[in-house]
Amino acid sequence: MRGKETTLEELARELGGRVEGDPLAVVRGLNTLTDALEDEVTFLTDIKYKGLLKDSKALAVIADRAVRGVDKSFIITENPSLGYAKAVAHFAAKPLPEPGLSPRAEVAGSAKIGRDVAVMPFAYVGERAVIGDFCVLYPHTYVGRDSSVGEGTILFPGAVVMDEVKIGRNVVLHPNAVVGSDGFGYARDKEVYVKIPQVGTVEIEDGVEVGAGTTIDRASLGVTRLGRGTKIDNLVQVAHNVVTGENCILVGQCGLSGSVTLGKNVIVAGQAGVAQRLSIGDFAVIAPKAGVAKPVARGQQVAGVPAIDARVHLKALTVFKDLPELKRALRSLRKKVEQLRKKVDEG
Amino acid sequence: MRGKETTLEELARELGGRVEGDPLAVVRGLNTLTDALEDEVTFLTDIKYKGLLKDSKALAVIADRAVRGVDKSFIITENPSLGYAKAVAHFAAKPLPEPGLSPRAEVAGSAKIGRDVAVMPFAYVGERAVIGDFCVLYPHTYVGRDSSVGEGTILFPGAVVMDEVKIGRNVVLHPNAVVGSDGFGYARDKEVYVKIPQVGTVEIEDGVEVGAGTTIDRASLGVTRLGRGTKIDNLVQVAHNVVTGENCILVGQCGLSGSVTLGKNVIVAGQAGVAQRLSIGDFAVIAPKAGVAKPVARGQQVAGVPAIDARVHLKALTVFKDLPELKRALRSLRKKVEQLRKKVDEG
Amino acid sequence: MRGKETTLEELARELGGRVEGDPLAVVRGLNTLTDALEDEVTFLTDIKYKGLLKDSKALAVIADRAVRGVDKSFIITENPSLGYAKAVAHFAAKPLPEPGLSPRAEVAGSAKIGRDVAVMPFAYVGERAVIGDFCVLYPHTYVGRDSSVGEGTILFPGAVVMDEVKIGRNVVLHPNAVVGSDGFGYARDKEVYVKIPQVGTVEIEDGVEVGAGTTIDRASLGVTRLGRGTKIDNLVQVAHNVVTGENCILVGQCGLSGSVTLGKNVIVAGQAGVAQRLSIGDFAVIAPKAGVAKPVARGQQVAGVPAIDARVHLKALTVFKDLPELKRALRSLRKKVEQLRKKVDEG
């Protein structure tokens, strides 16, 4: 990626790092170790790739320390991943659509649109909805009546915000994400299911991202809430009345059932699921494909279906593939014991 | 939730229950045990929450019997969940969009639109499509050519009904649901996959709900059919030629492969899957995350991957985490037997 | 399915087969063994259904050999599935929307639209986008700025192609599919996640199909690439920087994590997942619901979570349900050994 030309010194300042090497060298882009050009900066976020450094054409490297015997400049920073993120932001400068209200958008007369908002063709904004400054509503987005969207929030194409939902600032709804659909709630009347109207709402706090095709249901009563800074990948299901703390990570295709509560900084890995009403403590980690069927304590790591402590699960797994051997061994031992018994009885 | 003011007596009549306490007391809303105000009704659908009753401010409680020592009125009904559903419907009265054909919708000249239908901006209705009375087509919905949508059906934003599909009455397609996409069918020609045109259709019977982002494929030949009253949660995959009976429940992120047949009142829990062509009997229950690889009998409950009888599975699971211990125990027993054998041989 | 009337001889030629029976018999449609009418052709792609032949009304049968004692004509072809696919294509002739640029579509002035393209109402084409000849953009489709779509490609309703993405020829994006959404990439800054701008792209080669609601993320840097002829089912997640070879099959609800590489003709079955950065060899098969946590060799078949060799997994599974019995057997054997030891010691 090519972008805004800068000296290493300036770039290091933006990244909160310091230069080892030529501070006045000029960089014009950023790329991977293997793809970087002679005037580009690269990054070493995992020391195991350090062998690729010597063949890299890159002028400079973002790393947590200089690597000996490599004839390159370094930008040294404690957190090279973060440095990399900032460097990408420096060079990327992805242009957002120009502000402006397309005459082909449909905006209710009672809606309030902030300043410098882009409302693109075929976007729809309902009665009394409020759209904050600097928002972008791409084509085919829907903001229902009485909903609000905070400053700087982006709705990518096809994103849906149903009625009476509250979205914070600097939130991103990726394409075809849905917020505020009905929770899955029915009362059973003999063999028939009778719908319980879903009259709660959703609140999405500042800085949350909702992945493409992900669905966030509104609460039955009360509120489904996504805590500040929570990041959600694609095709994730968040059911009615779920509440997450700040900075949770929900990886692709995982699902949270109704009324699940996550603490802060919880990680739910890909294709995992959590059963209804369970509470998951701060900093807990749920392994990929786990099926959580009881509460998880603060900091605990769980795996398996149903999920148990991840280390216990790992030990059991190592035996799993030996089960046929185990069964044979038991059978053969049983025979030996039987022979022995006969011998003892006879002798 | 606040709504239409009513006496307990009137509300009990709507719910099919009877009052214990003051029939003329006036209620103005409904809420949970903890959130209800002094002029609101609450509900006790699970007796284990009865301890919360004494601190609840609620005026009255929907329950299957009066709770002793609690100074509140009760609406007594056999099925408090159903009573709750009806009470929510009483107070909620969510307004639907006003009927009317937006000049910014695109409706083919040969399409037939019933009376009191709302066709909102950017909705699309194809040639010869038929939309029944009282339907609502939200923005960005698509009804393909030669499809029909029955009376009172709602298509939420982004819902797609492809061509030649038949949707019944009082059906709800939640945001970005897809009905009638191509089945996943290919013939293999050496290493290349050749598409089999998917020329069947989909029929969705009355009262079905299809969750946000859920996909229902059309049949290869013939029909994919969802039985009356079946309720489908978000991000569920229903493949070509699936047929479900009445009142099935498909929970979030589960998947039915091609030509699977469900009886009536089958429950498929979250993230479960059923392999192709299998038949699942009436009232069967498939546990969360189960992978069904053989037919399931009427009323059977299955769990695991591949799914087996749920009780057998549960018993095996309880041993699973002890596998390393089991292996050690076997090894130690083997040593003992060996020592014993030597002793016997020598003695 | 009824369609273009033809003689068996003509049809056999289209299918690359030969007639056994009356070459001049006229067929007017195609259907299953049980549903075919007297003037229709049917197919026998799996010999186990041959018992249904005698009750079928069909005039002729597509099969890999004639079945004795059945009074029908046959179209004999080595690959009856492929013959069936071609026969469906003969009779189906699904009409595509007429070419033409709807005045209600929004096409940027700098976009290039090929000839005989259908751009339907509410479709959106961004600046400098290029749409090849014979493409169809259904309503509510989005093609972002600087993206290109090859000849003959179809975007079904709600399909989204984000900015700077390259789509090949004869590609199909089914309803609400998303291509080019941001990868899920964040740098951690203490407890907070900082977005890494996703500046890579997506390239979809010729003949790929992307299922309804499926999401294909753009690369962080570089490219996410789907190899020629790859077929993807509904609700599949393909993360940033995934690269697939030609003719891969990704079945419904499976997921590929970031930087996963598939060889050619790999099959990933339903609800399976592959962890990040792993490499899967040509012709490998990943079983339904498998969780792949290490590389898979060419031609290998894996199953389970974590996935191991499919045969090893199957053998272990057969013991799994006997675990409680195994545990009991071990305990009982231990008692016996103990009694025996006493006896030996005492005797």
Looking at the structure, tell me whether residues C84 and C127 fall in a common domain: no
Kindly list the residues from chain A whose CB atom is less than 8 angstroms away from the CB atom of residue B89. 197
Does any domain span residue C345?
no
CB contact (8 A) between residue A211 and residue C184: yes
Does any domain span residue C340?
no
CB contact (8 A) between residue C197 and residue A157: no
Which one of A140, A332, A343 would you mutate to disrupt binding with C, by most C Cβ within 10 Å of its Cβ? A140
Residues 56-85 of A with CB under 8 A from C: 79, 81-82, 84-85
Looking at the structure, tell me whether residues A175 and A302 fall in a common domain: yes
Does any domain span residue B346?
no
Per-residue pLDDT at C2: 85
Instruction: Work out how many CB contacts closer than 8 A connect A with C.
Output: 191
Q: Indicate whether A186 pLDDT > 90.
A: yes
Per-residue pLDDT at B165: 98
Q: Indicate whether A19 pLDDT > 80.
A: yes
A313 φ, ψ to 5°? -65, -40
Looking at the structure, tell me whether residues A192 and A150 fall in a common domain: yes
Which one of C156, C174, C188, C215 would you mutate to disrupt binding with A, by most A Cβ within 10 Å of its Cβ? C215
- Quote the longest CA-to-CA distance of chain C: 103
- The model's pLDDT over C291-312, given as tens digits with 9 standing for 90+, comes to 999 999 999 999 999 999 999 9
Residues 20-49 of C with CB under 8 A from B: 30-32, 35
What count of other Cβ atoms lies within 10 Å of the Cβ of residue C284? 23
* Residue C134 to residue C154: CA distance in whole angstroms: 9
CA distances from A220 to A180, A216, B41, B79 (A): 11, 12, 16, 18
C321 to chain B, any CB pair closer than 8 A? The answer is yes
Looking at the structure, tell me whether residues B61 and B205 fall in a common domain: no
- Using CA coordinates, name the residue in chain A closest to C308: A321
CATH of the domain at B283: 2.160.10.10
Looking at the structure, tell me whether residues C59 and C149 fall in a common domain: no
Tokens of A221: 């009563």
Helix or strand holding residue C85 (H, E): helix C80-92
List the chains bordering chain C where 3 or more Cβ pairs fall under 8 Å: A, B
Q: Indicate whether B212 pLDDT > 90.
A: yes
Residues A154, A209 contacting (CB under 8 angstroms): no
Q: Indicate whether A345 pLDDT > 90.
A: no
Tokens of A6: 């800068």
CB contact (8 A) between residue C106 and residue A121: yes
Average pLDDT, chain C: 95
- State the residue for tokens 């903001």: A143
A72 pLDDT tier (thresholds 50, 70, 90): very high
SS3 C177: coil
* Residue A84 to residue A230: CA distance in whole angstroms: 21
Mean pLDDT of A309-330: 93
Helix or strand holding residue A11 (H, E): helix A8-15
Looking at the structure, tell me whether residues C182 and C284 fall in a common domain: yes
Q: Indicate whether A61 pLDDT > 90.
A: yes
Residue B37 buriedness (CB in 10 A; 0-12 / 13-18 / 19+): middle
* Residue A53 to residue B57: CA distance in whole angstroms: 68
Q: Indicate whether C93 pLDDT > 80.
A: no
Most confident option among A324-328, B70-74, B287-291 = B287-291
C69 pLDDT tier (thresholds 50, 70, 90): confident
- The model's pLDDT over A129-143, given as tens digits with 9 standing for 90+, comes to 999 999 999 999 999
* Residue A43 to residue A58: CA distance in whole angstroms: 9
Residues B191, C264 contacting (CB under 8 angstroms): yes
- State the residue for tokens 């035996």: A319
B127 Cα distance to chain centroid: 32
CA distances from C248 to B51, C132, C229 (A): 57, 25, 7
Kindly list the residues from chain C whose CB atom is less than 8 angstroms away from the CB atom of residue A176. 158, 160, 176, 178, 213, 215
- The percentage of chain C sitting over the pLDDT mark of 90, rounded to a whole number, equals 88
Instruction: Work out how many CB contacts closer than 8 A connect B with C.
Output: 193
Last residue of a domain, one of A92, A119, A143: A92
Kindly list the residues from chain C whose CB atom is less than 8 angstroms away from the CB atom of residue B326. 326-327, 330
Residues 194-223 of B with CB under 8 A from C: 194-197, 199, 213-215, 217, 221-222
Residues C239, A252 contacting (CB under 8 angstroms): yes
SS3 B69: coil
Looking at the structure, tell me whether residues B79 and B114 fall in a common domain: no
Per-residue pLDDT at B161: 98
Of the residues B90, B174, B240, B313, which is catalytic? B240
Residues C73, C21 contacting (CB under 8 angstroms): yes
Looking at the structure, tell me whether residues C293 and C146 fall in a common domain: yes
Q: Indicate whether C347 pLDDT > 80.
A: no
Nearest to B258 by CA among B222, B214, B211: B222
What count of other Cβ atoms lies within 10 Å of the Cβ of residue C317? 18
Shortest CA gap C40–chain B (Å): 14
Mean pLDDT of B311-332: 92
Looking at the structure, tell me whether residues B66 and B134 fall in a common domain: no
Last residue of a domain, one of B50, B70, B92: B92
Nearest by CB to C321, from B176, B312, B333: name it.
B312
CB contact (8 A) between residue C158 and residue B142: yes
What count of other Cβ atoms lies within 10 Å of the Cβ of residue A298? 12
- Using CA coordinates, name the residue in chain B closest to A140: B140
Q: Indicate whether B38 pLDDT > 90.
A: yes
Q: Indicate whether B47 pLDDT > 90.
A: no
* Residue B32 to residue A222: CA distance in whole angstroms: 9
Which one of A289, A302, A343 would you mutate to disrupt binding with C, by most C Cβ within 10 Å of its Cβ? A289
Secondary structure letter of residue C336 according to DSSP: H
Per-residue pLDDT at B71: 87
Residues C148, C171 contacting (CB under 8 angstroms): no
Q: Where are the beta strands (DSSP E) in A80-204?
A: 100-101, 106-107, 112-113, 118-119, 124-125, 130-131, 136-137, 142-143, 148-149, 154-155, 160-161, 166-167, 172-173, 178-181, 186-189, 192-195, 201-204
B319 φ, ψ to 5°? -85, -30
Looking at the structure, tell me whether residues A227 and A170 fall in a common domain: yes
Looking at the structure, tell me whether residues C75 and C110 fall in a common domain: no
- State the residue for tokens 């078949």: C301
Tokens of B241: 């030629």
- Using CA coordinates, name the residue in chain B closest to A201: B1
Secondary structure letter of residue C296 according to DSSP: B
Q: Indicate whether A251 pLDDT > 80.
A: yes
Shortest CA gap B190–chain A (Å): 33
Kindly list the residues from chain C whose CB atom is less than 8 angstroms away from the CB atom of residue B333. 330, 333-334, 337
CA dihedral A164, A169, A175, A176 (to 10 degrees): -10
CB contact (8 A) between residue B181 and residue C326: no
Q: At what angle do helices C310-320 and A323-346 cross, to 10 degrees?
A: 50
Does any domain span residue B339?
no
Residues C76, C64 contacting (CB under 8 angstroms): yes
Q: Indicate whether B228 pLDDT > 80.
A: yes
Nearest to A150 by CA among A194, A217, A206: A206
- Using CA coordinates, name the residue in chain B closest to C174: B181
Q: At what angle do helices A323-346 and A310-320 cross, to 10 degrees?
A: 70
Mean pLDDT of B84-110: 92
Residues C275, C295 contacting (CB under 8 angstroms): no
B263 pLDDT tier (thresholds 50, 70, 90): very high
Nearest by CB to A257, from B32, B270, B321: name it.
B270
Mean pLDDT of C83-97: 88
Does any domain span residue C253?
yes
Shortest CA gap B148–chain C (Å): 17
Nearest by CB to A196, from B84, B121, B341: name it.
B84
Kindly list the residues from chain A whose CB atom is less than 8 angstroms away from the CB atom of residue B247. 191-193
Of the residues A140, A174, A240, A313, which is catalytic? A240
A78 pLDDT tier (thresholds 50, 70, 90): very high
Instruction: Work out how many CB contacts closer than 8 A connect A with B.
Output: 192
CB contact (8 A) between residue C229 and residue B192: yes
State the residue range of the domain holding A73. Answer: 2-92
CA distances from A11 to A2, A29, A36 (A): 14, 11, 17
Q: Indicate whether C11 pLDDT > 80.
A: yes
Per-residue pLDDT at A68: 86
Residues C117, C135 contacting (CB under 8 angstroms): yes
Residues 130-149 of A with CB under 8 A from C: 138-140
Q: Indicate whether A47 pLDDT > 80.
A: yes
Residues 85-104 of A with CB under 8 A from B: none
Does any domain span residue B322?
no
Per-residue pLDDT at B2: 85
CATH of the domain at C17: 3.40.1390.10
- Using CA coordinates, name the residue in chain B closest to C335: B333
Nearest by CB to B158, from A176, A312, A322: name it.
A176
Based on the structure, what is the number of domains in chain C?
Answer: 2
Per-residue pLDDT at B239: 98
- The model's pLDDT over A197-237, given as tens digits with 9 standing for 90+, comes to 999 999 999 999 999 999 999 999 999 999 999 999 999 99
Nearest to C209 by CA among B146, B185, B340: B185
Mean pLDDT of A291-319: 96
- Using CA coordinates, name the residue in chain A closest to B250: A184
* Residue B166 to residue A293: CA distance in whole angstroms: 39
Kindly list the residues from chain B whose CB atom is less than 8 angstroms away from the CB atom of residue C252. 184, 237, 239, 255, 257
- The percentage of chain B sitting over the pLDDT mark of 70, rounded to a whole number, equals 99
Q: Which residue has the higher pLDDT, A321 or B170?
A: B170
Kindly list the residues from chain C whose CB atom is less than 8 angstroms away from the CB atom of residue A156. 160, 162, 181
- Using CA coordinates, name the residue in chain B closest to A196: B85
Asked about C140 being catalytic, the answer comes back as: no
Nearest by CB to A189, from B79, B231, B317: name it.
B79
* Residue C63 to residue C185: CA distance in whole angstroms: 51
Does any domain span residue B228?
yes
B3 pLDDT tier (thresholds 50, 70, 90): confident
- The model's pLDDT over A105-129, given as tens digits with 9 standing for 90+, comes to 999 999 999 999 999 999 999 999 9
Q: Is A10 left (phi over 0), alpha (psi -120 to 50) or beta?
A: alpha
Amino acid at C178: V
Q: Indicate whether B341 pLDDT > 80.
A: yes
Looking at the structure, tell me whether residues C135 and C197 fall in a common domain: yes
Mean pLDDT of B313-325: 92
B343 pLDDT tier (thresholds 50, 70, 90): confident
Per-residue pLDDT at B46: 85
Q: Indicate whether C345 pLDDT > 90.
A: no
Which one of B98, B106, B119, B140 would you mutate to disrupt binding with A, by most A Cβ within 10 Å of its Cβ? B140
A50 pLDDT tier (thresholds 50, 70, 90): confident
* Residue B196 to residue B183: CA distance in whole angstroms: 9
CA distances from C282 to A105, A135, A142, B32 (A): 48, 45, 43, 56
Nearest to B256 by CA among C288, C204, C345: C288
Question: What ipTM was reported for this prediction?
Answer: 0.95
- The model's pLDDT over B125-139, given as tens digits with 9 standing for 90+, comes to 999 999 999 999 999
- The percentage of chain C sitting over the pLDDT mark of 70, rounded to a whole number, equals 99
SS3 A104: coil
Does any domain span residue B227?
yes
SS3 C28: strand
Per-residue pLDDT at A92: 82
- Using CA coordinates, name the residue in chain A closest to C195: A85
Per-residue pLDDT at A162: 98
Kindly list the residues from chain B whose CB atom is less than 8 angstroms away from the CB atom of residue C15. none
Kindly list the residues from chain B whose CB atom is less than 8 angstroms away from the CB atom of residue A316. 320-324
* Residue C108 to residue A121: CA distance in whole angstroms: 11
Shortest CA gap B340–chain A (Å): 8
- Close Cβ partners of B68 (under 8 Å, ≥ 6 residues apart): none
Nearest to A186 by CA among B155, B242, B173, B250: B250
Exposure letters A17-47 (e unless 16+ CB within 10 A, then b): bebbbebebebbbbbbbeebeebbbbbbbee
